[in-house]
Amino acid sequence: MELESNINQKANGDVASNGGSDSKESSVERELNGEIEAVELNGGPSNGHNHIKKPLPVGDGHDGRIKRKAKRLIQRQNSGSGSGSGTSATSLTNGAATAGGGIVPSIASTTVSSLANGMLPSGTGYVVPHRRWKNSRRSRNLTRGRGLPKKGGAGGKGVWGLPGSEALAEVYEDENDPNYDSEVNDRNVELREVITEITPEEFFKLAEPIVLEYYEHGDTHEVAVSFDEILQSPLREYITSILVEIAMDHKDSQREMTSVLISDLYGRVITGKDIEKGFNMVLANLPDLILDTPEAPVMLGNFMARAIADDCMPPKFVSRPEEHQQMNEYAEQALRRADALLHKQVWAHLDNVWGMGGPLRPVKTITKQMTLLLKEYLSSRDVAEAQRCLRALEVPHYHHELVYEAVVMTLESLSQTTEEAMCELLKSLDLTCLVLPAGMEQGFMRVFDDMADIVLDVPLAYIILDRFVERCNRAGFLTDKIINNVPSRGRKRFVSEGDGGHVKPATLPMRD
């Protein structure tokens, strides 16, 4: 307690002597400039007296002192335990007193808990505030609040606002703002749903994937649902024209599916008038379609005849060509084709106007058509027509049957002319890849397996087969597997050879 009274008396004397000369300086600045002696925090008493250590002067080099703004009161409480008096608290207070019209600051009073060991407890005494407190956003008033940032972090210099506030809509809109849009911010606006109309070109792009997908699954109900989603009333008449134009670029099986689709869409998605308008569009567009599809008039005639047979439009559509406007020569040819198909009393044949699809036909029907194809080729020797007819059958998995029928027909003809023609046909089919090597091998191997039955009708079958295989080998389209598996019949032995001309069995019967 004696040390506390001595320190207070010495501090009051120093303050009284310096108060008149420089009253505007804070206690912190005078302490840093050596005008106030602070209690040494890191040392103990020496020679029985407490030494007061003056901090080193820190300044800008002009007057040897730092000019700082006066800080508010900083209260710091440190826990400590003394060994003598039993008190454990250190309180730092900063006060101000006026003297001679100026402000005279007072030094902080230090309470020392115990000096029994001659040392001050660590963490006690007056501490100069750190620079980091200057830029802190925490409240200076520690007696109120929890020391959190002001305004939730939205206040202070260089702060753009509360984090996340940029996503909130602005309630107030300044008309003087350069980004202010009077049309957008006008409150007297009525919003209505506007459905944009698509053009026929855009509708064709949307409908084409639906039709191509229909060729894969064949579900007309799915097509109707898809058209209902994208269809608008002015575009209904374009459905028929789109279906017919897409089908012209595909095979007969897809054309048959297109005719079935038109019949199923009738009455649900499109009407008879829409179908007539669609065919009129195709008739007018025939001069352009014939450039890519030379048989477009014949195909269009088949489509119109099939639609009339399915009761999708009246027969007068093709029987009265004078009702159509701006008829061209290709349109007249298509109408004549449809009228010729409808001239017969029975329209049941129009159900197969496109023929039957390849996989849907029975095997016997396909075999019969391949036999007719080969007979027509032998009479005309037109390889291109034979290839076209083979493509029209649409049975690539069954081409080995054509090879089998061609070889058997060669063996039964007993003519070298037929052998040359069939060798030329098989070579052309191999070069154009209409018949794959696997199909060629399967056809020849089937003949080799049936030679035991064929030789009963054609005794010279083995000789003709050897000659034909050798000719085909010279043509270069037979594989080694075919050549190595060619069968050969055993030679009949003569009487002079001692066995009586009989062929000996493989095993001799045992006698009793």
Query: Residue ranges of the domains in the chain?
Result: 200-352, 363-485
* Closest CA relative to residue 358, chosen from 389, 399, 393: 393
Give the whole-angstrom CA distance, residue 44 versus residue 107.
21
HEC readout, 94-122: CEEEEECCEEEEECCCCCCCCCCCCCCCC
Highest mean pLDDT among 4-18, 143-157, 222-236, 322-336: 222-236
Expressed in percent and rounded to 5, the helix, strand and coil fractions of the chain are 50, 5, 45
Give ∠ CA 285-354-443 in degrees, rounded to 5. Answer: 125
Residue 84 has a pLDDT of: 41
Mean pLDDT for the stretch of residues 256-271 = 92
The two domains 200-352 and 363-485 share their CATH topology (first three levels equal):
yes
Residue 17: pLDDT band (50, 70, 90) is: very low
80, 123 Cβ separation under 8 angstroms? yes
Give the whole-angstrom CA distance, residue 237 versus residue 269.
10
Mean pLDDT for the stretch of residues 263-288 = 92
Mean pLDDT for the stretch of residues 163-191 = 68
By DSSP bridging, strand 52-53 and strand 38-39 are antiparallel
Give the whole-angstrom CA distance, residue 252 versus residue 271.
25
Residue 59: pLDDT band (50, 70, 90) is: very low
Q: Topology of 363-485 in CATH?
A: 1.25.40
Residue 407: pLDDT band (50, 70, 90) is: very high
Question: Does pLDDT of 243 surpass 80?
Answer: yes
Global pTM reads 0.47
Residue 322 has a pLDDT of: 65
Give the whole-angstrom CA distance, residue 124 versus residue 89.
9
Residue 350: pLDDT band (50, 70, 90) is: confident
Q: Looking at 179-295, list the stretches that DSSP marks H as alpha helix, in order from N- to C-terminal side.
A: 200-217, 220-230, 238-247, 252-265, 272-284, 286-292
* Mean pLDDT taken over the chain: 73
Residue showing tokens 């269009």 = 300
Residue 289 has a pLDDT of: 92
Query: Which H helix or E strand runs over 52?
Result: strand 52-53
Query: Which H helix or E strand runs over 417?
Result: helix 416-431
Number of Cβ atoms within 10 Å of the Cβ of 366: 19
For residue 328, the one-letter residue type is N
Question: Does pLDDT of 419 surpass 70?
Answer: yes
Highest mean pLDDT among 11-20, 111-120, 320-329, 455-464: 455-464
The predicted-structure confidence for 291-300, as pLDDT tens digits, reads as follows 999 999 999 9
Collapsing DSSP to helix, strand or coil, 266 comes out as strand
The predicted-structure confidence for 90-123, as pLDDT tens digits, reads as follows 434 444 333 344 444 443 444 444 433 444 444 4
Residue 505: pLDDT band (50, 70, 90) is: low
Q: Could you give the percent of the chain with pLDDT greater than 70?
A: 58
Which CATH code, of 3.40.50.300, 3.40.47.10, 1.20.120.1200, 1.25.40.180, is assigned to 200-352? 1.25.40.180
Collapsing DSSP to helix, strand or coil, 224 comes out as helix
Highest mean pLDDT among 8-17, 98-107, 213-222: 213-222
Residue 29: pLDDT band (50, 70, 90) is: low
Question: What 8-state DSSP symbol labels residue 433?
Answer: T
Question: Does pLDDT of 425 surpass 90?
Answer: yes
- Mean pLDDT check: name the lowest of 17-26, 126-135, 271-280, 399-408: 17-26
152 vs 104, more confident: 152
68 vs 85, more confident: 68
Residue 446: pLDDT band (50, 70, 90) is: very high
Residue showing tokens 């037109």 = 382
Collapsing DSSP to helix, strand or coil, 225 comes out as helix
Residue 197 has a pLDDT of: 82
Residue 279 has a pLDDT of: 93
Residue 230 has a pLDDT of: 87
Residue 86: pLDDT band (50, 70, 90) is: very low
| Contacts for 356 with CB less than 8 Å, ≥ 6 apart | 256, 365
Give me 99's structure tokens.
């003297």
248, 208 Cβ separation under 8 angstroms? no
For helices 252-265 and 220-230, what crossing angle results, to 10°? 60
Residue 422: pLDDT band (50, 70, 90) is: very high
Q: Could you give the percent of the chain with pLDDT greater than 90?
A: 36
Question: Does pLDDT of 432 surpass 50?
Answer: yes
Question: Does pLDDT of 208 surpass 50?
Answer: yes
Residue 318 has a pLDDT of: 86
Query: What are residue 393's phi and psi, to 5 degrees?
Result: -65, -30
Question: Does pLDDT of 408 surpass 90?
Answer: yes
Question: Does pLDDT of 283 surpass 50?
Answer: yes
Residue 374 has a pLDDT of: 94
Phi/psi zone of residue 394: left (φ > 0), alpha (ψ -120 to 50 degrees), beta?
left
Length of the chain: 512
Residue 60 has a pLDDT of: 46
